[in-house]
């Protein structure tokens, strides 16, 4: 059986996987859906201001150590792709699978800021205007977005990742491209690059960016496809 560690994107917490988690657990797997430092409801301003990409990688590594996980599947959505890359690079072989769910796949020295679009960079700057250290959640029509979203630590999206190359030795690496928001996605060129890389498995799902909420069964089925209990994988 697999152990899944689910890492949300910016502004979100572990709750964003609430429709996927029970599907994985029902199949007999262990699931940890993280809420990263600075995104928890009781985090104070100082915690939010000081949280960066290293902090979030440490959140994952602390979970692996605390629960004695030695064979983790890390799933990162959007910004969470930065986090799982950094964590896997430092995990000392405790990660066997990476799934970037419509998520950034950084190389050494890159950041969420450098990898995203001009539109997202503008939203980071404008969203941080109130405090200078936390990016308020963007408005989402027609309902304004989930009220559980919280301001995201700005330092985490501008910090450059430091990779030793160990992340490239994770046995299975996957990228999931959400094709239902072609007018806004920053991941089209990344999909093309990874499709040409024989060390990556690339999947397409016809949803918007938040596939785990729009199509939780499809996401769960994709995650279960290569889980240890699936003898066809």
Give the 3-state secondary structure of residue 32. Answer: strand
Q: Burial letters for 155-167: b for 16+ Cβ neighbours within 10 Å, e otherwise?
A: bbbbbebebeeeb
- Kindly state the tokens that stand for 54: 């290293």
Q: Give me the sign of the Cα torsion angle 118, 121, 127, 131.
A: negative
Active-site residue, from 50, 62, 78, 156: 78
Concerning whether 62 is annotated as a catalytic residue, the answer is no
Contact 165, 106 (CB under 8 A): no
Kindly list the distances between the CA atom of residue 188 and the CA atoms of 21, 98, 174, 194, in Å, as whole numbers in the listed order.
27, 19, 15, 10
Residues assigned a catalytic role: 78
């Amino acid at each position: 059986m697999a152990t899944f560690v689910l890492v949300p994107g910016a502004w979100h917490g572990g709750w964003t996987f609430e429709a996927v988690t029970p599907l994985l657990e029902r199949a007999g797997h262990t699931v940890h859906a993280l809420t990263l430092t600075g995104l928890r409801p009781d985090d104070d301003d100082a915690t939010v201001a000081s949280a960066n990409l290293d902090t979030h990688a440490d959140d994952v590594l602390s979970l692996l150590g605390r629960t004695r996980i030695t064979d983790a599947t890390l799933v990162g959505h959007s910004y969470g792709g930065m986090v799982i890359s950094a964590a896997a690079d430092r995990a000392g072989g405790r990660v066997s699978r990476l799934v970037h769910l419509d998520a950034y796949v950084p190389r050494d020295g890159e950041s969420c800021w450098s990898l995203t679009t001009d539109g997202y960079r503008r939203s980071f700057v404008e969203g941080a205007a109130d405090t200078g250290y936390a990016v308020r959640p963007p408005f989402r029509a027609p309902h304004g977005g989930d009220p559980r979203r919280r301001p995201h630590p700005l330092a985490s999206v501008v910090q450059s990742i430091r990779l030793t190359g160990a992340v490239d030795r994770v046995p299975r690496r996957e990228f999931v491209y959400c094709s239902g928001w072609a007018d806004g996605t920053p991941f089209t060129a990344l999909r093309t690059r990874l499709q040409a890389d024989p060390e990556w498995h690339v999947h397409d799902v016809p949803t918007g960016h938040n596939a785990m909420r729009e199509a939780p069964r499809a996401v769960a089925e994709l995650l279960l496809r290569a889980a240890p209990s699936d003898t066809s994988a």
